[in-house]
Amino acid sequence: MFTPIFRRQLLQSSKHARCFSSTRVVATADVKHLGVIGAGQMGLGIALVAAQKAGVPVTLVDTNQASIDKGLKFADKLLAKDVSKERITQDQADKIRSLLSTTTSMDSLSSVDFVIEAVPEIPSLKFSIFESLAQICQPHTILATNTSSISITRIAASTTKDPTDTSASSRVVSTHFMNPVPIQKGVEIITGLQTSQETVDTAIAFCKKMGKIPSQSADSPGFLANRILMPYINEAIICLETGVGRRDDIDAIMKNGTNVPMGPLQLADFIGIDTCLAIMKVLHEETGDSKYRPSVLLGKMVDAGWLGKKSGKGFYDY
């Protein structure tokens, strides 16, 4: 349950957004074309699920053609697996695959109705992307971010140099999908101060159309999922570096003691050690609370290039 103060803050933010925004946003039924920026694991997963569950064409954008090729290869693998397990037919797989198109130019997003940015957690990169999207996309297009820690209000503010002009910033929202996207049902909907209620409603409805279960969060460091999850993972790493427990024992006690599918160290490998560090830094810097100080070992592993499953080595070898 929300506390009275927290509930009041949410209501105030919603009222401010409604009063600031006068721009029409696209309705869910009118989301006929999705754009996804970033062909990594998250972006590819979002694009594939949108094509498969929502049945909409998706334009996948990445400046690195190699990343696009790798992502499409992974999509083909996932679809082939679904066919082999008789979850879908080959004709259905071919139809889903035909809905995915790729490009290295963000200008190709000029005709989409909804765009989701899924690039690494680098604030300057996200701000630059949203500044460009405000110029490229149509006046009704919803501009969503998959950020797991960066302020939505700050991202929305990057769409204009005039704070009184909310024509673009009112259409900015976070749709934070859980990893891996094709499997996990949860998605966080986070609003900035500028976000309009119409934008929120459409984002929630479209995520449901993708087969997801939305939860709403205020624009606070780490939001809900990572505000809870990352200190848990970070504390597990501190237990490892200080000798409280060994890797296998740490993961085993959490799996067998709390019934989670994988332990915190293995989960960190799947999320990405660099992503874990980036989120902990945001939590620490934005709250100023020492309880969010990143583990020393976490930083050392990033320095060593041991980023988890994606690099072949993390707390485990892959």
Query: DSSP readout, 57-97?
Result: -EEEE-S-HHHHHHHHHHHHHHHHHHHHTTSS-HHHHHHHH
Task: Please give the pLDDT value at position 316.
Answer: 98
Contact 48, 148 (CB under 8 A): no
Task: Please give the pLDDT value at position 183.
Answer: 94
User: Residue 16 above 60 pLDDT?
Assistant: no
CATH 1.10.1040.10 residue ranges for the chain: 224-311
Task: Please give the pLDDT value at position 47.
Answer: 98
User: Residue 77 above 60 pLDDT?
Assistant: yes
34-218 adopts what CATH topology?
Rossmann fold (3.40.50)
* CA–CA dist 37, 115 (Å, integer): 8
Which residues, 6+ apart, have CB-to-CB distance to 235 below 8 Å? none
Task: Please give the pLDDT value at position 281.
Answer: 93
User: Residue 10 above 60 pLDDT?
Assistant: no
User: Has 208 been labeled as part of a binding site?
Assistant: no
pLDDT band, very low/low/confident/very high, at 289 (cuts 50, 70, 90): very high
Which tens digit of pLDDT belongs to each residue from 187-219? 999 999 999 999 999 999 999 999 999 999 999
Question: Taking all residues of the chain, what is their mean pLDDT, rounded to a whole number?
Answer: 92
The pLDDT of 16-31, averaged and rounded, is: 58
Task: Please give the pLDDT value at position 6.
Answer: 39
Task: Please give the pLDDT value at position 22.
Answer: 45
User: Residue 274 above 50 pLDDT?
Assistant: yes
User: Residue 26 above 90 pLDDT?
Assistant: no
User: Residue 169 above 80 pLDDT?
Assistant: yes
**Going by DSSP bridges, is the β-strand pair 186-191/172-177 parallel, antiparallel, or unpaired?**
antiparallel
User: Has 241 been labeled as part of a binding site?
Assistant: no
Q: What percent of the chain has pLDDT over 90?
A: 85
**Going by DSSP bridges, is the β-strand pair 172-177/114-117 parallel, antiparallel, or unpaired?**
unpaired
What predicted TM-score, i.e. pTM, was given to this entire model? 0.84
pLDDT band, very low/low/confident/very high, at 28 (cuts 50, 70, 90): low
Task: Please give the pLDDT value at position 177.
Answer: 97
| Active centre residues (catalytic) | 148, 176, 188, 226
CA 284 to the chain's CA centroid: 20
User: Has 41 been labeled as part of a binding site?
Assistant: yes
DSSP 190: E
Task: Please give the pLDDT value at position 192.
Answer: 96
User: Residue 20 above 90 pLDDT?
Assistant: no
Return the CA Rg of the chain. 20
Task: Please give the pLDDT value at position 97.
Answer: 98
* CA–CA dist 285, 271 (Å, integer): 21
pLDDT band, very low/low/confident/very high, at 170 (cuts 50, 70, 90): very high
Task: Please give the pLDDT value at position 5.
Answer: 42
Task: Please give the pLDDT value at position 30.
Answer: 83
Map tokens 């039924």 to a residue: 29
User: Has 299 been labeled as part of a binding site?
Assistant: no
CATH 3.40.50.720 residue ranges for the chain: 34-218
The pLDDT of 283-299, averaged and rounded, is: 95
User: Has 179 been labeled as part of a binding site?
Assistant: yes
User: Residue 153 above 50 pLDDT?
Assistant: yes
**At CA 51, angle to CA 47 and CA 53, rounded to 5?**
110
CATH no. of 224-311: 1.10.1040.10
Q: Taking the C-alpha atoms of 38, 44, 48 and 50 in order, what is their torsion angle to the nearest 10 degrees?
A: -40
Q: Higher-confidence residue: 113 or 14?
A: 113
Which tens digit of pLDDT belongs to each residue from 220-260? 989 999 999 999 999 999 999 999 999 999 999 999 999 99
Task: Please give the pLDDT value at position 4.
Answer: 41
